[in-house]
Amino acid sequence: MNVNNNVNMKPFHTFGIDVPCDVLVEAATVDDLISAYRCPEWQELPKLVLGKGSNVLFTEPFHGVVVINKLLGKTVTTRDDFIYLTIAGGEDWPSLVEWTLEQGIPGLENLALIPGCAGSAPIQNIGAYGVEFKDICDYVEYLDLESLDIIRLSAQECLFGYRDSIFKNDLLGKVIITSIGLKLPSNWQPNFTYGPLKSEKDLLTTPYAVFEHVCDIRRSKLPDPNVTGNAGSFFKNPVITHENYMELQALYPDLNGFEVEGGVKIAAGWLIDRCGLKGHQIGGAQVHPQQALVIVNVDNATSNDVLELAWYVKHAVLDKYGVELEHEVRFFSATQETSLEIIFADRFQ
């Protein structure tokens, strides 16, 4: 277990913003994780577990212990026409997808290049190009931070929803995901439900061809966090009622929607773009000029720059379309998880 005090978190989250934490622990084993939570010196300090830091924004210096999940390991078994993978929580997700294809194991190719680690994937129920984590999940194992026991949940028990799970709700702050179990059919069936894949399906005859096409699409649409700091899609695609959708489409005929449970999902990026906000900048934070759904750190942005820009975007969309955007990026204050609404409610008091 590697421990350092007063650490700049800039290298540990993809926004690349200068923000310190009091203690940084790099945990390579489950025993390291348990030691971090049993340490008498840190007993009363708030704790936050990070993987690759690809979906977080520190809104201020973190006065507690940041634990980096560095658990590694991959195993593969085959039975009953399925391939089962057990993946340690600290494994890099994009590298995992590429590794499975190198091993001749298809099924993850639609989820290529999603930044983050395996342990973060269930929290957000990551998804792209017609596939979500819930579709390939067999189970999730976690360290219970009260009992310090390892507990396994089935995919059904994880209560997956759109960018949602039990880990963002009932188990928020109470567990650390130590490993995931994936279940992939031995007989590969491509998923071409997403438009750009469907239009090219005659050419995408192998899992690797799908993988390369998804990578090309993502690279053309999304900025590389290794080059320009960002946390990927900043806002969730909102789900609105059918009635609301019909009203908006009557006013904006080029608005597209997709039937989902609970209503119609529309593209947050489309809403932001039609508000004329591509390239809009506050301080060092900018709405990406090509992809309106992404906020980027273009010039040594502060956390406040990002917050101010996100608030501006949220209200521009609300004023024009009457649609409430919810941020997908997770916000952390000095001691706990927070939200854009809480931050600005406090400011306006």
Among 275, 280, 257, residue whose Cα is nearest residue 267: 257
| CB count in 10 Å sphere of residue 285 | 28
CB neighbours (10 Å) of residue 73? Answer: 12
Residue 230 structure tokens = 């960002």
Which is nearest to 21 in space by CA: 47, 40, 2?
47
**Cβ neighbours of residue 220 closer than 8 Å, sequence gap 6 or more:** none
Which of 179, 233, 303, 333 is labelled catalytic?
233
Element (H, E) at 101: helix 93-102
C-beta atoms surrounding 217 within 10 Å:
18
CB atoms closer than 10 angstroms to residue 41: 8
The answer to whether 233 is a known catalytic residue is yes
SS3 of residue 123 by DSSP: helix
Distance CA 336, CA 60 (A): 11
Sign of the Cα pseudo-torsion (101, 103, 106, 110, in order): negative
- Active-site position among 326, 328, 337, 339: 328
Indicate if 328 belongs to the active site: yes
Q: What's the rounded Cα separation, in Å, for the pair 12 and 1?
A: 17
Furthest CA-CA distance within the chain = 61
Q: Which amino acids are annotated catalytic? A: 163, 233, 328
